[in-house]
Amino acid sequence: MSTVLAHSLFSEFDINLFKAGKHYRLHDKMGSHLLTLDGVEGTYFAVWAPSARLVSVVGDFNFWKDGEYSLHVRWDESGIWEGFIPNIGHGEVYKYKIHSNHNGVITEKADPFARRAEHPPQTASVVYKFNHTWEDGEWMRKRHKHNHLNAPFSVYEVHLASWRRKEDEGNRSLSYLELATELVSYVKEMNFTHVEFMPVMEYPYSPSWGYQITGYFAPTARFGYPEELMTLIEALHKNDIGVILDWVPSHFPEDAHGLGSFDGTACYEHPNRQKGYHPDWKSLIFNYERNEVRSFLISNALFWLEHYHVDGLRVDAVASMLYLDYSREDGEWEPNRNGGRENLEVITFLKELNQEVYSSFPDVQTIAEESTSFPMVSKPVFSGGLGFGMKWMMGWMHDTLTYFKRDTIHRNHHHNEISFSMTYAFTENFMLPLSHDEVVYEKQSILGRMPGDEWQRFANLRLLYTYMYTHPGTKLLFMGSEFGQGTEWNFEEQLDWYVLKYQFHKGIHRAFKEINKLYVDTPAFYEKQFDSEGFEWIAHDDDENSVLSYIRKDNNTHEVSICVFNMTPTPQSNYRIGIPFEGRFREIFNSDATEYGGTGEYHNRILKISTESWHGKPYSTYIDIPPLAGVVFELIKN
């Protein structure tokens, strides 16, 4: 049996931090690392397997022979096994063969800290050293301007495998390098400020869309090498586009090579199935009570921010983490020590995560997908919040899509659905999402929800986007929705790009580009997007006409934008609205424009402002509102 040369990257200080759950750079110590020891080149391996009695490294280099390269367990009861194996270099394929002290169980596991994994369906890890020189220094220096909460934040959510495909090459997905050209130019053309990648961490099962992760530190090999993902991110940065990664600290799959029963026991998952198994996704839940697991997860978050220069993390399924009774019936969950349903360990974990992220990377954002009324999700930890930068506004999404799906003749009876969001819009730093979850499982595409004939469906969609992008909050739109994809999203096929040869799809595509530009270029729409001072109703109660109107303001209220929406196909001529200021008043966007597929018949070129009060405002004017349209006016005070 060959001997592993003993060597350690861990100091006593590292071990104490790890045991306390406070080591946030475990990726610098754990996993496989190329080293030269006493003049001999090789690889140092370190893995946490506290219930193991024997751990060996197996791979192509020893014909997967168990026991030949055995690691040494540390004396300090940390559960870390480590060792240096000479003559194993970059690109070697390996796993850990773990003999458990529990019932003689033997597992063969991929490295939880591997920086590269084999291409699925292969499941081994790869010894890997990054070889990339970053050239995005200008972006990184000024990133705080793009990522600040008072900056425009318009996100294009992308599933890399199905955005575009090479249909003439076996329907293959684009590579990271191909996306660095095609996706980057498209996102820039469409005026998005950020992209969000659905999970790119290695996952074995394509129908999971990446949400069942087995390689938390390894970008999926489906699209290329780690450096090629870095090149894609770098290309986005060079075009002033930020990158958000979907991150899944909520659950992981039971695949044999993954984290589940890692050392023959519940190592990463909670041993109590009421806390450790997710009934919705048939997956395992991390044990947030275990310090070493908390270190693993926080280290993983920081790894992507540090090594891949990402600008934010959208944290998946936060609601499922926060509540012990999430998707469970009575008797299927246990209350916390205070008798409540909140997972107290998760709350402290999320606070710790956000504190460390913002401490190390103050110019990034963390964004919670959280669907409940849990308080202060996006408020600072020092004031009692969870510390996220933003939270998805799921109530807005639900109410808005419910409203727009209604036949226009009935909308006057449901006017509160479209105005209700403003009663709580500033309780959190909200992001308005129309995400992938809204265009699958027979929910229809966003266009498919719109009522009426073809003209009305596209007019409704233009109206919806105008409302969404002038409403307070940041924005997120799932790919395909920007050009009115008619079918539900299919992860195995590319988007229906062919529809852009049809006039209505061309129109919505052009309209969305301009709506996005309007949001990005107009300070009134983003400088106070989380502040009630940046919003003022004109009229929210005109249910008879189904007309909604409000004012958006910038930091100094030097410029304001007036937004008026007609939710029915009946045009409104000489519609009177109240105005708070005297000044010049002009139309700057009209979703009914001919070039967008609208009628083009209702314009407001020169508007006379009267000193007669209306809607509780000291001044007023008359406007023409097109059918099923949003109209935006710029008011510059004298």
- Sorted by sequence, the CB contacts under 8 Å of residue 455 that are 6+ apart come out as 504, 597
Strand 365-368 with 312-315, pairing: parallel
- How many angstroms separate the CA atoms of 44 and 35, rounded? 7
Nearest to 414 by CA among 451, 386, 377: 451
- How many angstroms separate the CA atoms of 102 and 104, rounded? 5
Catalytic residue among 202, 263, 369, 542: 369
Main-chain dihedrals φ then ψ at residue 226, nearest 5 degrees: -55, -45
- Crossing angle for the helix pair 291-307 and 344-360, to the nearest 10 degrees: 30
- 214 and 259 in contact (C-beta within 8 Å)? yes
- Sorted by sequence, the CB contacts under 8 Å of residue 578 that are 6+ apart come out as 538, 539, 613, 614, 615, 616, 617, 619, 620
Handedness of CA 60, 61, 65, 70 (dihedral sign): negative
**Distance between alpha carbon 533 and the CA centroid of its chain, in Å?**
27
By the 10 Å C-beta count (0-12 exposed, 13-18 middle, 19+ buried), 371 is classed as: middle
- How many angstroms separate the CA atoms of 534 and 422, rounded? 12
| Residue 316 a catalytic site member | yes
| Residue 342 a catalytic site member | no
Any idea what the Cα angle at residue 26 is, between residues 24 and 27, rounded to 5°?
120
By the 10 Å C-beta count (0-12 exposed, 13-18 middle, 19+ buried), 316 is classed as: buried
Catalytic residue among 196, 234, 289, 316: 316
Unique residue bearing structure tokens 């931090």: 17
Catalytic residues: 316, 369
